Structure 1
Amino acid sequence: MTMRATLDFLLHDWIDVAALASRPRFADHSRETFDSVLDTCERIAREKFAPYNRLSDIEEPHFEGERVHLPQATHDATRAYVESGMLAAAQDYDVGGMQLPCVVEMAANCFFSMSSVSMGAYAMLTSGNASLLMVHGSPRQKEVFARNEFAGRWFGTMCLSEPQAGSSLSDIVTRAVPDGEGFENDPLGPRYRLKGNKMWISGGEHEITENIVHLVLAKIPGPDGKLIPGVKGISLFIVPKRLVDADGNLTGERNDVALAGLNHKCGYRGTTNTLLNFGEGRFPVRGSAGAIGYLVGEPGRGLACMFHMMNEARIGVGLGATMLGYAGYQASLEYARQRTQGRPVGPAGKDPSSPPVPIIEHADVKRMLLAQKSYCEGALALELYCARLVDEQQTGDPVAAEEARLLLEVLTPIAKSWPSEWCLEANSLAIQVLGGYGYTRDFPVEQYWRDNRLNMIHEGAHGIQGMDLLGRKVLMEEGRGLQLLAARMQASIAAAAAHAELAEHAQALSRALDHVGRATRAAWANGQPAEALANATPYLQAFGHVVLGWVWLDVARVALAARDRLAPSFVAGKLAAARYFHRYEMPRIAAWLAVVESRDRTCLDLAPEAL
């Protein structure tokens, strides 16, 4: 079965996305329009992205002192994406959007992530950048910057990290000072001069579009000229590569934003990744030092603005990881069906003159393929579920919207981290299925692994997601989000228990859910954050497996309910993947939670010199 068949099943049978068309925002849509969007994106991805994925890896971006060079295929692919209208897919009609549900937009983007995640990254970053401005930007900022990004005239970035600070945003030192008298009266927003360095900026330099809109976190000094320690002084600024007037026309002036170098990466090579210097004086502008930037929102509220888009960005990262895993799964599945090697175990295989069998006949190869299927299809269901919660938060009634908000708070760390870890494992298993061939560049599975390895790092590294989940999300608002998630799981357990095929799995999930609750309470029993968070990553892994056990239980239940109109092999595949996950993966949960429950101090107490 193709990925599209699973995508359609999850959207229409499991999530019932067509029901969204009854809401005013989506009233012009139906299953037919949703399917048409998926068809279009699948075709563009197949024709413009997939054939050049290897090219984008081999001919990685290079800088010759004047400009960054990218393969022509990247320019062509991004142009096709822009022309499809997908940059503004979820936006209002009056800004050129389609008013698509978030869940349909993300489902459509699956095809691009699967075909060439690095070539598609430029557009995904731009959409996130512009969407943030539509929420937090001034009317003029929306008109000039966001609308030009949605139109594909300009692309965008997010500039958070700095070389000395990494993920510790409280330690950033890029500063922004008012640009002279009357700085607050610029029609594009209060105008500042920025100086500092930003690292790991994807899409930070290219010539795909005529301009690049950088969203930059920087600190505004206090009255004494010193930067405010911590995150309270962080503000957000629009810093265009090329300056524009109040109507969005290029002025011909280059802003003082300079490329300091390209990062040469293990994978994801088709996307430029840069070190940018702001205000170093290479491109002095209007007679003064410093890059010109326009304040977004209120001073000191930069992180609040930036993290507004993080839920969707982190779901997007999880979806990208999922589709890279899925691409490896499909490649190794095809290989296993064609590659003949060895003979069956038992009497039938003892005759050396008998022909070798396809390796898909071997139990251990089936194990590796089924593991990949359970990771990737489970992760896809999770990401679509979270995207559906975004729609509920934005268009549901007040009670449903509040529940969606709480569920997203708890599930977002899982949506980002779980596919990043386990769909990467799927890529590793794909290499193993191909054996020595998988380790060569003659086949694509090694590139999928290299590309996917980034996803455990960016948009909040793995350990940070664990601390966010155990240190904040399960505790916030007196644990209301965790309680709501548990209630939904318990409802699924009750519904699945009525099916003989699923009763065993329902019981296993119930036990695991109870264990998570006990471990959460035990972790915080003495109220010591250092002890509780020392094992935040095992907690994240266990919690994620409980969530995926729930997802698979519910997906299997829906597949059983629809078995009369689904292909028997399709239903059998879903039931086998659910069975695999519950029997092979769920037992891991107890070991992970054991160190959380006991507040094990092995790592906390280890002296650095012992390493």
Structure 2
Amino acid sequence: MLRPTIDFLLYDWLQADTLPQRARFADHSRETFGSVLDAAERLAREKFAPFNRLVDTEEPRFDGEKVILPQATHEAWKAFGESGMLSAAQDYDIGGMQLPYLVETAANAFFAKASVGIGGSLLTVGNANLLMAHGNEAQRRVFALNEFSGRWSGTMCLSEPQAGSSLSDVATRAVPDGDNFESDALGPRYRLHGNKMWISAGEHELTENIIHLVLAKIPGPDGKLVPGTKGISLFVVPKKLVDAEGRLTGERNDVALAGLNHKCGWRGTTNTLLNFGEGRFKPAGRAGAVGYLVGRPGEGLRCMFHMMNEARIGVGLGAAMLGYAGYEASLDYARQRPQGRPITGAPSAPTSAPASGTPAFGKDAAAPQVPIIEHADVKRMLLAQKAYSEGALALCLYGARLVDEQHTGAPEAGAEAALLLEVLTPIIKSFPSQWCLEANSLAIQVHGGYGYTRDFPVEQYWRDNRLNMIHEGTHGIQALDLLGRKVVMQGGAGLKLLASRINATIERAGHVQGLAEFATQLGGAVQRLGAATKAAWATGEPAEALANATPYLQAFGHVVVAWIWLDVVLAAQAAEAPRRDGSLAACRYFFAYELPLVDAWLKVVSSREAVCREMLDEWF
């Protein structure tokens, strides 16, 4: 099911086969794109999917010296590194394939669906991409290129036990490593002291080295840390020290595993608490983790958000594919599971309620059972899953297409793509994280009691997906980012641009028989979203506007996905009947059952409902 859906979205909807007309992708064609997708699908099917349950039940463990993971994880990581997918979108001259980010994202969908627990690429590629953008020549050559080759892996170290998502409270310190700290070929060398929490893949033996990107503060002349986020800098901190040629020196850096976090899901990937500079290891005879400054002092967040925004698209894709995996599993179950019989008969008086205790319908007990997919409520749950997961997948691929447009399109088109991506990134992360989790819940419901057991995979999909509303920026942080920054930046230019794109789809759909009603409905929702945005900020008080940022995020996401579905259905008009009719049914479902929810969310936004803001602690 997935591959035909991806092919349709790539070529019939997003016109990926036109990308080879651009100089960067000139060596490619639809055939080469297809070969990459074939290879990714095969690798995911053979090395990842069969071991998804294994890595869930055999959690990582620390034997006092090293972290133990199943052999299947080692083999999957090795195969992924050898496949070239880590550097798929990179330049030829550093070993990449110069694939469009759109095709790379589509290929990664197969791995996300097969086993997010095994993991592999998300943080490593993001880490290396950040260094390519902000690191010096030596950092790119030594650290980034070894990550792209699969020799080393990478992490992102932001959160701290006492700070959580509040980066302004980062307390990790970085002090110059001696008087000649600026003479190292790998960049200005510092010693780091502090603790980082929730570090995915922070300790393992899967690769020769682990490259940590760490946020820390450089003390001022008085020895104190600058409060807030302005004093945060970024450092590259290898687990094992290396020289300027990328060779291991044989010395362990002062980065120590303090503990493994035992999670609800994603159990196959280590999640760690790391101590930097605790003195367990003493490189060059002194405590303190050796780190190299990336970019300039005080610009750590600017650099890190290069990785964060990319990671948020990856999180959205992972959530979408977990939703899709549950959808496929519950659809297969519903087609095979016999239970119940068709509803027959009707009330004798349709305009009045039946007498108490008298059924308004009948069932022929002698008739054979039917597969549960014949029941309307099961179809409702399957349609919801299809609408959420396929809509989320389309949204993520659209975001990836914007990345390609930003970097390879004409200047005006590239600038528009960058602006759209700024506005849509919180939605690309949040909508799949919330609603594909709901899809997984519905997949359990379709299975009934069986879905609540480990005999079927859907309970694991739900547990794995629950993390996505939390990591790489929680749901509430995405909401604050959207309403507090993205829709008001540049005088609302991003929101206006998005509205123009949506209105172009509305205009096209308005001339297609059967879609005009959807066009009218979506047009009204867009207008109400714009009005609510203005109403939220009517007083100019951030506390009043942002108290209902999460309902605003949900309303915004539903409007965007309704637009995505309508645009997809327009592309499906020329497709064969199952694709055309299935897309139309999912679109109908979303407009009938989901889009009306927007008005309730926008009501509290527009009125600046104060109950959550005014609630006092003692009232709970």
TM-score by length of 1: 0.98
Task: Report the Cα offset of residue 210 of structure 1.
Answer: 1.1
**Structure-2 residue corresponding to 1:293:** 291
**Structure-2 residue corresponding to 1:502:** 515
Task: Report the Cα offset of residue 349 of structure 1.
Answer: 6.6
**Structure-2 residue corresponding to 1:438:** 451
Q: Would the aligned equivalents of 2:547 and 2:613 in 1 still touch at CA under 8 Å?
A: yes
Q: Would the aligned equivalents of 1:234 and 1:303 in 2 still touch at CA under 8 Å?
A: yes
User: 1:382 aligned to 2:391?
Assistant: no
2:185 to 187, 199, 213: 187
The structure-2 alpha-carbon separation of the partners of 1:51 and 1:526, relative to structure 1 and needing over 3 Å to count, comes to: same
Matches within 5 A, 1:261-410: 261-347=259-345, 350-410=363-423
**Structure-2 residue corresponding to 1:532:** 545
Q: Would the aligned equivalents of 1:343 and 1:349 in 2 still touch at CA under 8 Å?
A: no
Q: Would the aligned equivalents of 2:232 and 2:297 in 1 still touch at CA under 8 Å?
A: yes
User: 1:103 aligned to 2:102?
Assistant: yes
**Structure-2 residue corresponding to 1:587:** 596
**Structure-1 residue corresponding to 2:72:** 73
Q: Counterpart amino acid of 1:481?
A: G
1:235 to 219, 233, 236: 233
1:553 to 553, 559, 566: 566
**Structure-1 residue corresponding to 2:91:** 92
In structure 2, C-alpha distance between the alignment counterparts of 1:302 and 1:363, rounded to whole Å:
53
In structure 1, C-alpha distance between the alignment counterparts of 2:213 and 2:422, rounded to whole Å:
24
Q: Counterpart amino acid of 1:517?
A: G
**Structure-2 residue corresponding to 1:175:** 173
In structure 2, C-alpha distance between the alignment counterparts of 1:350 and 1:584, rounded to whole Å:
28
1:443-478 Cα offsets, whole Å, 9 max, x none, are 000000000000000010000000100000000011
Q: Counterpart amino acid of 1:484?
A: L
**Structure-1 residue corresponding to 2:482:** 469
1:188-226 Cα offsets, whole Å, 9 max, x none, are 100000000000000000000111000000000011110
Q: Counterpart amino acid of 1:174?
A: T
SS across alignment from 2:311: helix
2:614 to 590, 593, 605: 605
**Structure-2 residue corresponding to 1:414:** 427
In structure 2, C-alpha distance between the alignment counterparts of 1:215 and 1:118, rounded to whole Å:
22
1:168-206 Cα offsets, whole Å, 9 max, x none, are 001000000000011001001000000000000000000
User: 1:42 aligned to 2:55?
Assistant: no
* Deviation >6 Å, runs of 4+: none
SS across alignment from 1:253: strand
1:251 to 244, 249, 252: 249
Q: Counterpart amino acid of 1:472?
A: R
Q: Would the aligned equivalents of 2:344 and 2:364 in 1 still touch at CA under 8 Å?
A: no
Task: Report the Cα offset of residue 3 of structure 1.
Answer: 1.2
SS across alignment from 2:505: helix
Task: Report the Cα offset of residue 229 of structure 1.
Answer: 0.3
In structure 2, C-alpha distance between the alignment counterparts of 1:541 and 1:51, rounded to whole Å:
35
1:480 to 479, 490, 493: 493
1:590-610 Cα offsets, whole Å, 9 max, x none, are 000000000000100001111
SS across alignment from 2:282: coil
Task: Report the Cα offset of residue 98 of structure 1.
Answer: 0.4
In structure 1, C-alpha distance between the alignment counterparts of 2:431 and 2:106, rounded to whole Å:
18
SS across alignment from 1:29: coil
Q: Counterpart amino acid of 1:64?
A: D
Matches within 5 A, 1:423-462: 423-462=436-475
SS across alignment from 1:119: coil
SS across alignment from 1:505: helix
In structure 1, C-alpha distance between the alignment counterparts of 2:338 and 2:619, rounded to whole Å:
49
In structure 2, C-alpha distance between the alignment counterparts of 1:351 and 1:510, rounded to whole Å:
46
Task: Report the Cα offset of residue 124 of structure 1.
Answer: 1.8
Q: Would the aligned equivalents of 1:343 and 1:356 in 2 still touch at CA under 8 Å?
A: yes
1:570 to 561, 576, 579: 579
SS across alignment from 1:335: helix
Task: Report the Cα offset of residue 83 of structure 1.
Answer: 1.0
Task: Report the Cα offset of residue 125 of structure 1.
Answer: 1.2
**Structure-2 residue corresponding to 1:14:** 13
Q: Would the aligned equivalents of 1:88 and 1:127 in 2 still touch at CA under 8 Å?
A: yes
Q: How many residues align?
A: 605
Which stretches in structure 1 are left out of the alignment for 5+ residues? Answer: none
In structure 2, C-alpha distance between the alignment counterparts of 1:166 and 1:588, rounded to whole Å:
32
Task: Report the Cα offset of residue 351 of structure 1.
Answer: 2.2
In structure 2, C-alpha distance between the alignment counterparts of 1:65 and 1:124, rounded to whole Å:
28
In structure 2, C-alpha distance between the alignment counterparts of 1:312 and 1:235, rounded to whole Å:
19
In structure 2, C-alpha distance between the alignment counterparts of 1:240 and 1:123, rounded to whole Å:
18
In structure 1, C-alpha distance between the alignment counterparts of 2:272 and 2:306, rounded to whole Å:
24
Q: Would the aligned equivalents of 2:60 and 2:268 in 1 still touch at CA under 8 Å?
A: yes
**Structure-2 residue corresponding to 1:32:** 31
Task: Report the Cα offset of residue 350 of structure 1.
Answer: 2.5
In structure 1, C-alpha distance between the alignment counterparts of 2:231 and 2:548, rounded to whole Å:
31
In structure 2, C-alpha distance between the alignment counterparts of 1:125 and 1:452, rounded to whole Å:
17
Task: Report the Cα offset of residue 16 of structure 1.
Answer: 0.1
Q: Counterpart amino acid of 2:155?
A: T
Q: Counterpart amino acid of 1:572?
A: D
Q: Counterpart amino acid of 1:359?
A: I
Alignment RMSD, CA only? 0.8
Task: Report the Cα offset of residue 309 of structure 1.
Answer: 2.2
In structure 2, C-alpha distance between the alignment counterparts of 1:312 and 1:377, rounded to whole Å:
21
Q: Would the aligned equivalents of 1:176 and 1:195 in 2 still touch at CA under 8 Å?
A: yes
1:460-506 Cα offsets, whole Å, 9 max, x none, are 00000001000000000111100000000000000001112111110
SS across alignment from 1:118: coil
1:245-266 Cα offsets, whole Å, 9 max, x none, are 1100000000000000000000
Which stretches in structure 2 are left out of the alignment for 5+ residues? Answer: 346-360
In structure 2, C-alpha distance between the alignment counterparts of 1:50 and 1:331, rounded to whole Å:
13
1:345-401 Cα offsets, whole Å, 9 max, x none, are 114973212110000000000000000000001011100000000001111111001
Q: Would the aligned equivalents of 1:440 and 1:446 in 2 still touch at CA under 8 Å?
A: yes
Q: Counterpart amino acid of 1:304?
A: R
1:46-87 Cα offsets, whole Å, 9 max, x none, are 000000000000001011111100000000011111111000
SS across alignment from 2:129: helix
In structure 2, C-alpha distance between the alignment counterparts of 1:94 and 1:299, rounded to whole Å:
30
Q: Would the aligned equivalents of 1:314 and 1:416 in 2 still touch at CA under 8 Å?
A: yes
**Structure-1 residue corresponding to 2:59:** 60
**Structure-1 residue corresponding to 2:350:** none
